[in-house]
Copies of this chain bind each other. A is one copy, B any other.
């Protein structure tokens, strides 16, 4: 099966969580930048995956679909549901990361909501980030799955966006760091990460580095 991923071509964003799964599995896939008309009919927002006649949004649903097919999820229903539940919680976490720099509206520039962003980011780093990391530290299975790829991406992104906060926090979550490092050393994944196909983090994606949102102390 050849898969086609519809996503913005210039940012990692949500598309990257799908891309990591396709790359790690060595799947046959290509990119198709979203065309406005097609998008409007098929999904509320990218990413979505085209698989034969199926069109599947959003991210967590795509991973639910791909998981069994690409060997990135267990086969038993109970385990698949559990994994999907964890992935949905990770999606919520990602929304909260986005909203640290856009707490008022995605349609306004960051500069138009900077005081609000400082308030929201400070509480996110003090309360929510530890709560999510603690949860996944306890809940993530040691058995490899697409969730590990997504946790890798969360840690990479958080290190990019909040290097100071992550220096303070991350050592408390040894299991998450182990998962991160194991993912980074998987042969196909590490080849992908050092290839031109991996879009670098930048100031247009979900993870953005604004020093004023990540103070030292």
Chain A residues with CB under 8 Å of chain B are 41, 43-45, 53-54, 56-58, 60-61, 64-65, 78, 81-82, 84-85, 88-89, 92, 95, 99, 103-105, 107-108, 113, 116, 119-120, 123-124, 127, 131-132, 135, 138-139
Contacts A61-B81, A81-B65: A116 and B104 contacting too (C-beta < 8 A)?
yes
Contacts A78-B54, A95-B92: A105 and B120 contacting too (C-beta < 8 A)?
yes
User: What are 24 residue pairs bridging A and B, where the CB atoms are less than 8 Å apart in the complex?
Assistant: A41-B138, A44-B131, A44-B132, A45-B89, A53-B78, A56-B81, A56-B85, A57-B89, A58-B88, A58-B89, A58-B92, A61-B81, A61-B84, A88-B88, A92-B95, A99-B99, A103-B103, A103-B104, A104-B119, A104-B123, A105-B124, A107-B123, A108-B123, A116-B119
- Contact (Cβ within 8 A) A123 B105: yes
Nearest residue (CB) in B for A87 is B61
Overall SS of chain A's interface? helix
Beyond A88-B88, A105-B124, A116-B116, 14 additional pairs, beta carbon < 8 A: A43-B89, A44-B131, A44-B139, A45-B89, A53-B78, A54-B81, A56-B81, A57-B89, A58-B89, A64-B81, A99-B99, A103-B103, A103-B104, A104-B123
Contacts A61-B81, A95-B92: A127 and B103 contacting too (C-beta < 8 A)?
no
* Max chain B C-beta neighbours (<10 A), residue from A81, A113, A124, A132: A81
How far does the alpha carbon of A99 sit from the alpha carbon of B103 in the complex, in Å?
A: 9
